[in-house]
Each structure stands twice: as structure tokens, then as C-alpha cells.
Amino acid sequence: MFKYSFLIVLIAFLLINFNGQENQIVGGKIKKERSEVFFGEYDSFTGCYSRSIKLKKGVTYAFTLSKNTKSGDLSLYVEDPKQTRFFEMTNNSLYLTPEKTRRYRINFVGSEHKGSFQLHWKSSNQKESEKFV
């Protein structure tokens, strides 16, 4: 019985600690707040944190990155299902129009980044609907 209990605990530990994320986040977290917002606040973030989002063909998306950096570096890039980099965000705003409707993966890369960030995106359809409200 002890052998099976140990095995169950070991498997649970591996599932909890190795969830596909290659990162170390100390004193905080990164999460998806709403369908178009990612938020991170931490004492230190090193590694890569990634999540997928669905983008539609022919729709223009406006991405805005706000970050508060006390030290270190934070960047992000988006890749398609074949793990080809779709775009890399080099400044605080970017407009993009995908050629195919599919799920794309947003990758946040931290190098001893201390501080916080918020990534927000809005489609051109959302902008139009907000004008009429």
C-alpha cells in the first residue's frame, strides 16, 4: 500500500509542478483577467509563460502592452500552431491582421523581470461596437 501511495504523491507533484510552463514566478502571478487581458505582477519572473488565444482571419487586432519594470527585462511574442513566430512585440503597441482563423500562442519571456505588466487587445469589431453604445 505504501508503494502505491508514494507513486500517487509523486505523480501529483509532477503534474502540479510541470504543467507545460517553463518559468519561475516569485511573489506573484501571471493570469488571464478577461478574455482580452493578461496581467502579471510579481517580485521576479524568469522564463517563459504562454497561453493560447483565438484570432480570426481578416480581423485587425490592436495589442497594447503596459509594463512597470523595476529591473530585468520582459518581452513577448506570438506563434502559430507550427511554433513559427507570428510577431514579436518590440514596442508598446502593435496592430496585426491574421491570414487564418486559428489559435495562436502568446509567450511572455522574463529575464529576472521585477514589476508588473498588462497586455490588452481589442479587435476592430469591438472598436466599432463600442462606438455605437
Q: For residues 78 and 106, is the Cβ–Cβ distance under 8 A? A: yes
Question: What pLDDT score was predicted for residue 89?
Answer: 77
Domains and their CATH numbers in the chain: 31-123 (2.60.120.380)
| Residue 133 pLDDT level (bands cut at 50, 70, 90) | very low
Res. 2: pLDDT tops 80: no
- Which of 2-11, 16-25, 27-36, 102-111 has the lowest average pLDDT? 16-25
As a whole number of angstroms, the distance between CA 64 and CA 67 comes to: 10
Could you read off the pLDDT of 78-132 as tens digits, one per residue? 888 888 887 777 778 888 888 889 999 999 999 999 999 999 999 987 544 343 3
| Residue 21 pLDDT level (bands cut at 50, 70, 90) | low
Q: What is the mean pLDDT of residues 60-81?
A: 91
Question: What pLDDT score was predicted for residue 92?
Answer: 82
Can you read off the three cell numbers belonging to residue 133?
453604445
Could you read off the pLDDT of 45-65 as tens digits, one per residue? 999 999 899 999 999 999 999
Question: What pLDDT score was predicted for residue 18?
Answer: 46
Question: What pLDDT score was predicted for residue 127?
Answer: 46
Q: Is 123 exposed, middle or buried (0-12, 13-18, 19+ CB in 10 A)?
A: middle
Counts for the chain of helices (H) and strands (E), in that order: 2, 7
